[in-house]
Amino acid sequence: MTIIFTRFSRPNGKRSKVEIDRPTDIDKMARDLVRMGYDFEIEVLRGDEIHMTVSNEDGDLCSRICENGPQVPISVDSMIVEAHLMALERSINGSEVH
Protein backbone atom coordinates (compact mmCIF):
# COMPACT_ATOMS: atom_id res chain seq x y z
CA MET A 1 0.00 0.00 0.00
CA THR A 2 1.12 3.58 -0.59
CA ILE A 3 1.58 6.44 1.87
CA ILE A 4 1.66 9.89 0.30
CA PHE A 5 4.11 12.43 1.69
CA THR A 6 4.42 16.10 0.79
CA ARG A 7 8.06 16.59 -0.22
CA PHE A 8 9.79 19.92 0.25
CA SER A 9 12.67 20.35 -2.20
CA ARG A 10 15.66 22.60 -1.78
CA PRO A 11 16.54 25.36 -2.30
CA ASN A 12 13.14 27.10 -2.24
CA GLY A 13 10.88 24.55 -0.54
CA LYS A 14 8.95 23.62 -3.68
CA ARG A 15 6.19 21.13 -2.80
CA SER A 16 5.53 17.87 -4.59
CA LYS A 17 4.03 14.49 -3.70
CA VAL A 18 6.08 11.37 -3.11
CA GLU A 19 4.63 7.90 -2.59
CA ILE A 20 6.23 5.37 -0.26
CA ASP A 21 5.00 1.77 -0.43
CA ARG A 22 4.59 0.12 2.96
CA PRO A 23 2.97 -3.04 4.31
CA THR A 24 -0.79 -3.14 4.86
CA ASP A 25 -0.60 -2.75 8.66
CA ILE A 26 1.51 0.43 8.39
CA ASP A 27 -0.73 1.76 5.60
CA LYS A 28 -3.81 1.22 7.80
CA MET A 29 -2.24 3.22 10.63
CA ALA A 30 -1.29 5.97 8.17
CA ARG A 31 -4.86 6.11 6.87
CA ASP A 32 -6.13 6.35 10.46
CA LEU A 33 -3.78 9.29 11.01
CA VAL A 34 -5.04 11.04 7.88
CA ARG A 35 -8.65 10.57 9.08
CA MET A 36 -7.58 12.19 12.38
CA GLY A 37 -6.29 15.23 10.46
CA TYR A 38 -2.60 14.46 10.19
CA ASP A 39 -0.33 14.90 7.17
CA PHE A 40 3.03 13.37 6.24
CA GLU A 41 5.94 15.55 5.15
CA ILE A 42 9.45 14.75 4.00
CA GLU A 43 12.47 16.85 3.05
CA VAL A 44 16.07 16.20 2.11
CA LEU A 45 18.45 17.97 4.45
CA ARG A 46 22.03 18.85 3.68
CA GLY A 47 24.01 15.82 2.70
CA ASP A 48 21.99 12.64 2.45
CA GLU A 49 19.76 13.04 5.49
CA ILE A 50 15.97 12.89 5.30
CA HIS A 51 13.64 14.62 7.77
CA MET A 52 10.11 13.21 8.01
CA THR A 53 7.18 14.41 10.09
CA VAL A 54 3.62 13.51 10.98
CA SER A 55 1.88 16.79 11.75
CA ASN A 56 -1.38 18.69 11.83
CA GLU A 57 -2.32 22.35 12.16
CA ASP A 58 -1.10 22.30 15.79
CA GLY A 59 2.42 21.19 14.81
CA ASP A 60 4.52 18.06 14.63
CA LEU A 61 3.28 14.93 16.37
CA CYS A 62 6.29 12.78 15.53
CA SER A 63 9.42 13.02 13.37
CA ARG A 64 12.45 11.08 12.19
CA ILE A 65 15.81 11.94 10.68
CA CYS A 66 17.64 9.20 8.80
CA GLU A 67 20.07 8.63 5.95
CA ASN A 68 18.48 8.66 2.50
CA GLY A 69 18.57 5.03 1.43
CA PRO A 70 17.50 1.67 2.84
CA GLN A 71 16.90 3.21 6.28
CA VAL A 72 13.98 5.35 5.00
CA PRO A 73 11.28 2.61 4.96
CA ILE A 74 12.33 1.43 8.43
CA SER A 75 12.13 5.00 9.74
CA VAL A 76 8.75 5.56 8.04
CA ASP A 77 7.38 2.45 9.75
CA SER A 78 8.63 3.37 13.22
CA MET A 79 7.41 6.97 12.84
CA ILE A 80 3.93 5.87 11.72
CA VAL A 81 3.61 3.34 14.57
CA GLU A 82 4.72 5.90 17.18
CA ALA A 83 2.52 8.66 15.74
CA HIS A 84 -0.49 6.33 15.62
CA LEU A 85 -0.09 5.43 19.29
CA MET A 86 0.39 9.09 20.26
CA ALA A 87 -2.67 10.20 18.26
CA LEU A 88 -4.82 7.46 19.80
CA GLU A 89 -3.67 8.48 23.30
CA ARG A 90 -4.51 12.12 22.56
CA SER A 91 -7.91 11.09 21.23
CA ILE A 92 -8.67 8.95 24.28
CA ASN A 93 -7.53 11.70 26.63
CA GLY A 94 -9.72 14.23 24.83
CA SER A 95 -6.92 16.55 23.81
CA GLU A 96 -7.40 16.00 20.08
CA VAL A 97 -9.97 18.08 18.22
CA HIS A 98 -11.58 16.36 15.22
Residue 39 maps to a domain: yes
Does some domain include residue 88? yes
Q: Is residue 60 part of a domain?
A: yes
Q: Please report whether residue 7 resides in a domain.
A: yes
Is residue 57 one of the residues assigned to a domain? yes
Rounded Cα distance, 55 and 37, in Å: 8
Domain-located, residue 61: yes
Question: What b/e readout covers 58-77, taking b as 16+ CB neighbours within 10 angstroms?
Answer: eeebbebebeeeeebeebbb
Model pLDDT, residue 9: 83
Residue 93 has pLDDT above 70, yes or no: yes
- Owning domain of residue 20: 2-92
- How many Cα neighbours within 13 Å face the side chain of 21? 0
Domain count, the chain: 1
12-46 as b/e: b if 16+ CB within 10 A: eeeeeeeebebeeebbebbebbeebebebbbbeee
| 98 found inside a domain | no
Q: pLDDT for 67-87, tens place per residue?
A: 999 999 999 999 999 999 999
The better pLDDT of the pair 90, 19 is held by 19
Q: Determine, yes or no, domain membership for 97.
A: no
